[in-house]
Amino acid sequence: MFEVNWSTVINWLMHPLMRTAFNLNFLNALLMPFKDVYNAFKLFRDTNIYKLSHTGQVCYLEGALNDAFDTDLRRLRIEDAGSDEIILLSLDTDETPLMVDDDITGAILIHNDSAYFNSDYDFIVIIPYAFSSSELYRLKALVDYYKLAGKRYDVIVG
């Protein structure tokens, strides 16, 4: 319904005796601003259909985020917050200090507060690398657009 071939329309509406190359090119030139408005309308319509086809469900939100930021590898994920349990490290006596070190890599993995049970967040958006500040604002705006009202989230690099 919205696909219009304007050259065909011009050919259909012109009298056969008037269909010279000059007249067809002249009418195409006259219709150029109208074609630009028509193309802007089609782009607006397509973006609105895309926005309406995505919701706050996890699969659709992940799809929208990956479409916007990681189209090739699709590495952005959404996980529930509170899936990890807190394991407290303690000694039998409090006199000796506790050293936490991994001899192989020299580093240990400590989760953000949002990954633990009873945190303030409802879900976590996991990004594969550190975004620039402008990309991070775009990501948060996109998540805010699609998420349900009242849901809280955290963005972490994972």
Residue bearing tokens 């269909």:
19
pLDDT tens, position by position, 132-145? 999 999 999 999 99
pLDDT value of residue 29:
96
| Residue 123 CB neighbours (<10 A) | 19
* Strand pairing category for 123-127 and 153-157: parallel
Which ranges of the chain have pLDDT less than 70? 83-118
pLDDT value of residue 4:
92
Closest CA to 78 of 57, 109, 52: 57
Residue bearing tokens 């329309």:
9
pLDDT value of residue 85:
62
pLDDT value of residue 100:
61
Rounded to whole angstroms, the Cα distance separating 125 from 156 reads 6
pLDDT value of residue 62:
96
> What does pTM read for this prediction?
0.72
